[in-house]
């Protein structure tokens, strides 16, 4: 079907430094796959290689089982939405949308039919005679989507299409993107650095850092079972608390505080004497009077619907917890919820796994 497969792909601009190193990735047909990572991690380069806008230095790229390394962008049958939308400023909305179909010499009736269909889906019918400069950011973004949609290409590439929108529009646009994918289920490849977009739009997420794939999994697994410290901290807001902890005589040590480790976790820790301990802010459990680790609360941020508590636990770095608004500052202890924690190797920072 319409899978996209990278086999041992390298990309270098100057012939000396690789911006993409030995990329092996299979993007499944008909699903929404998100390339997620911080700026400069190589995610846009990967997308542009799929589009044919960047050459591949070595390795093979297959689309629908066919090697496409040498194919021009126009021969790959893709639709793409650019970060700045790339609408032709001298053409009206209608002409912008029709342009690709005119080049493809589609019959006039088909062009008009698809134009009306796409304008209708995205609610742009009354704007078809306007120029891009006469539209708002959200409308331009929808025109760009329309232009890609009318091609009905099996591959739909999106390069941070929501990054120029305000927070409110972004929320509605996310739902719109999922709806558009549902129209004919193309292979959707979406680049973003925004983890909320990735979690809400993606069926599969590829987390990339420094040109290396950190984890390729479903949003649920990425959030609940992060492969390493980078993924754990990159996904989630506020990000996961990760701190160093010692292991002594079956106890986890946070400075002077010692907490007994359940045997199923001990099996995973093995003979390590140090681990990285991870706990998501929403999983922190505070207690009053007695508990596993004594804490000092630094400050509390009131977000209206919840509170963010910054606190110190023994030797650890500053930690963050989110609680409901009824939280009171009197709490002095933190309990370890063993079914919610994550342990990572101290050196490789890889996840040690979870007890069955």
Partner 1 sequence: MKIKHQGEWKYQLILILSVCLLFYPLLYMFSTSFKTLNQIFSSGLKLFPTEFTLENYDTVFKSLDILRFLTNSFIIAAIVMVCKIISSVLASYALVFMNIKHRDLLFNLFTVSMFIPFSVIMIPNYLTLSEMGLMNKLLGVALPQLADAMGIYRIRQAMRTIPKSLVEAARIDNVGHFTALRRIVFPLVKPSVVAMSIFFFINSWNEYFWPMLILKRKEMYTITLALQVFLDTESGSAWGSSMALATIATLVPMVLYIFAQRQIIGTFMQSGIKE
Where along the sequence are the contacts to partner 1 (CB under 8 A)? 51-53, 72-75, 78-80, 82-84, 86, 88-90, 99-100, 103-104, 147, 151
Taking the C-alpha atoms of residue 56 and residue 68, their distance in angstroms, rounded to an integer, is 10
The H or E element containing residue 159 is strand 155-159
Rounded to the nearest whole angstrom, what is the least distance from the CB of residue 161 to partner 1 in the complex? Answer: 12
User: DSSP assignment of 214-228, as one string?
Assistant: EEEE-HHHHHHS-SB
Taking the C-alpha atoms of residue 102 and residue 34, their distance in angstroms, rounded to an integer, is 31
Rounded to the nearest whole angstrom, what is the least distance from the CB of residue 103 to partner 1 in the complex? Answer: 5
Rounded to the nearest whole angstrom, what is the least distance from the CB of residue 190 to partner 1 in the complex? Answer: 16
**Which of 50, 207 has the CB closer to partner 1?**
50
The H or E element containing residue 229 is helix 229-234
**Which of 83, 224 has the CB closer to partner 1?**
83
Task: Locate 18 and state its tokens.
Answer: 């690789």
**Which of 82, 333 has the CB closer to partner 1?**
82
Sheet holding 187-192, edge to edge: 78-81, 155-159, 187-192, 32-36, 204-209, 212-217
**Which of 95, 340 has the CB closer to partner 1?**
95
DSSP category for residue 168: H
Rounded to the nearest whole angstrom, what is the least distance from the CB of residue 52 to partner 1 in the complex? Answer: 8
Rounded to the nearest whole angstrom, what is the least distance from the CB of residue 180 to partner 1 in the complex? Answer: 17
- Tell me whether the omega of the peptide bond preceding residue 238 falls within 30 degrees of 0, making it cis: yes
**Which of 180, 227 has the CB closer to partner 1?**
180
Taking the C-alpha atoms of residue 258 and residue 254, their distance in angstroms, rounded to an integer, is 6
Task: Locate 299 and state its tokens.
Answer: 């400050």
Rounded to the nearest whole angstrom, what is the least distance from the CB of residue 344 to partner 1 in the complex? Answer: 40
Terminal CA-to-CA distance of the chain, rounded, Å? 36
**Which of 25, 53 has the CB closer to partner 1?**
53
Rounded to the nearest whole angstrom, what is the least distance from the CB of residue 73 to partner 1 in the complex? Answer: 5
Q: Which residues pair with 36 in a beta bridge?
A: 192, 207
Residue given tokens 């110190």 in the structure block: 312
**Which of 103, 167 has the CB closer to partner 1?**
103
Taking the C-alpha atoms of residue 213 and residue 207, their distance in angstroms, rounded to an integer, is 6
Residue given tokens 């590829």 in the structure block: 206
**Which of 189, 284 has the CB closer to partner 1?**
189
Rounded to the nearest whole angstrom, what is the least distance from the CB of residue 89 to partner 1 in the complex? Answer: 7
């Amino acid at each position: 079907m319409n899978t996209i497969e990278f086999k041992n792909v390298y990309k270098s601009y100057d012939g000396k430094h690789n911006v993409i190193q030995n990329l092996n990735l299979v993007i499944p047909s008909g699903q929404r796959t998100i390339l997620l990572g911080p700026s400069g991690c190589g995610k846009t380069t990967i997308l542009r290689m799929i589009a044919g806008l960047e050459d591949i230095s070595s390795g093979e790229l297959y689309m629908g089982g066919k090697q496409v390394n040498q194919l021009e962008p126009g021969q790959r049958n893709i639709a793409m939405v650019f970060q700045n939308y790339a609408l032709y400023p001298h053409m009206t909305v209608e002409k912008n949308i029709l342009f690709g179909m005119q080049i493809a010499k589609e019959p006039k009736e088909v062009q008009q039919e698809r134009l009306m269909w796409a304008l209708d889906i995205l609610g742009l019918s009354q704007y078809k005679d306007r120029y891009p400069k006469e539209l708002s950011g959200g409308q331009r973004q929808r025109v760009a989507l329309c232009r890609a949609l009318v091609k009905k290409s099996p591959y739909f590439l999106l390069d941070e299409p929501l990054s120029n929108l305000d927070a409110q529009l972004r929320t509605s646009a996310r739902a719109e993107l999922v709806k558009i994918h549902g129209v004919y289920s193309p292979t959707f490849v979406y680049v973003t650095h925004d983890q909320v977009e990735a979690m809400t739009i993606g069926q599969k997420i590829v987390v990339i850092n420094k040109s290396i794939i950190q984890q390729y999994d479903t949003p649920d697994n990425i959030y609940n079972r992060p492969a390493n410290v980078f993924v754990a901290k990159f996904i989630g807001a506020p990000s996961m608390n990760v701190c160093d902890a010692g292991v002594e005589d079956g106890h986890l040590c946070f400075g002077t505080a010692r907490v007994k480790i359940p045997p199923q976790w001990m099996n995973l820790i093995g003979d390590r004497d140090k681990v990285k301990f991870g706990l998501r802010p929403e999983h922190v459990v505070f207690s009053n009077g007695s508990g596993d680790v004594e804490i000092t609360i630094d400050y509390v941020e009131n977000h209206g619907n919840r509170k963010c508590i910054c606190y110190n636990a023994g030797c650890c770095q500053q930690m963050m917890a989110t609680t409901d608004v009824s939280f009171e500052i009197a709490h002095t202890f933190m309990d370890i919820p063993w079914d919610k924690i994550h342990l990572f190797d101290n050196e490789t920072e890889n996840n040690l796994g979870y007890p069955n």
